[in-house]
Amino acid sequence: MAETAPPPKWREANSNMGSSAPLSIADICDANSHLLTTGELRPLPPVFHIYGKKRNFSGRVVTVKCLEDNLLVREFLAQEGHGRVLVVDGCGSLRSAIIGGILAKKAQSNGWAGIVVYGCIRDVDDVNLCDIGVRALNSSPVKPGKKGNGEKHVPVTIAGTTVCDGDWLCADSDGA
């Protein structure tokens, strides 16, 4: 499926390197230094912890910005994911979690490839049992609000790096 295949430039880089194995994030950066220079390829800063069973995941990005409120996140994860990655700008808050085990299970059952949270998660043991990839700043036992505050499908800034709805995100143990 086109939505779950890497962008052509990454496929070309993989074939030029003579490998049939999936590219690592480091390989993608090495093979595309010109895209790093132009800003077309934007690695996220190394601020995330790795959660979930999938250490490697990729997909088209869907964005949401919300501060200590996860109602919009719940709405997205209740939909079919089609191999997409939900990128949540939680404004870097460490005061409460944005997702927990219930939402991670929902994301898994609805076909999301992964979730990147610029904020916290909770129910870490449950999240780690889910067959999806999750990145977050840390964990917090405090539950989020559910008022629906936030914005969907907007450019978000994750530790100084802009991520837009429709971008492609790849993640592995080296980064995202």
Q: Residues forming the annotated binding site?
A: 100-103, 122-123
CA-based nearest residue to 118, from 143, 89, 145? 89
Going by the annotation, the residues of the binding site for substrate are: 100-103, 122-123
As a whole number of angstroms, the distance between CA 45 and CA 167 comes to 17
CA-based nearest residue to 118, from 147, 97, 146? 97
The amino acid at 25: I
* SS3 state of residue 173: coil
Task: Report residue 73 as tokens.
Answer: 């996140």
As a whole number of angstroms, the distance between CA 137 and CA 93 comes to 9
